[in-house]
Amino acid sequence: MRLSPILAVTRGRVVFLAVFTLSLAACTAGAGERGAPAAPQTAAIWRTATLTDVRSGTSFRVADLSGKVVAIEPMAIWCSSCVIQQREAREALRELGSDQVVYISLDIDPAEQASDLARYSQREGFDWTFAIAPPEVSRSLAAEFGDLVLSPPSTPLIVLDREGRVVSTGFGHKGSADLVATLEQYVR
């Protein structure tokens, strides 16, 4: 049986929409909405994955930083908002002067290389931890905090207190005074 051209196009669109919807559901399965619990398979990966500081070559895990206040800034080298935010972070970290704060700029762009990130941090005069997020870490962050955390221009920031609890998440530019105020309350 031959379908009329209009029915064939309509049928093709229905098939496309069905395949697209199933693909989207598979890709986002377990990716919790903001505030919803993350899927068990990805929930703690961002905390437990071994990362490498591209500046020093030192390996670390976020989970091992308990006892310190940790600020994680998902970023990318190409992101102009990120460099502006990082300049504010540099000033805030100087003002805080505390070895109780660990600031991590976590490059979530899968195309960027550790050597490029190291050159970037050196060129800009940023002297804190810079690491490349493996894909499973990026997926884990998105599962817990929503997809916007993977948009560097939104200047996401995740703050953990000394016990490792997430105490602050936010998006948008934060001046150095705002960063100091946010971090200082957990350093005490």
* pLDDT exceeds 70 at position 108: yes
What is the average pLDDT across 77-89? Answer: 96
Dist. CA 65–CA 162, nearest whole Å: 8
Q: In 3D, which of 148, 158, 155, 159 has the Cα closest to residue 171?
A: 155
Query: Is the C-alpha dihedral spanning 162, 167, 171, 174 positive or negative?
Result: negative
Q: Which domains does the chain have, with CATH numbers?
A: 45-187 (3.40.30.10)
* pLDDT exceeds 60 at position 16: no
DSSP 42: T
Query: pLDDT category, 98, cuts 50, 70, 90?
Result: confident
pTM, full prediction: 0.76
Q: What is the pLDDT of residue 43?
A: 57
DSSP 128: S
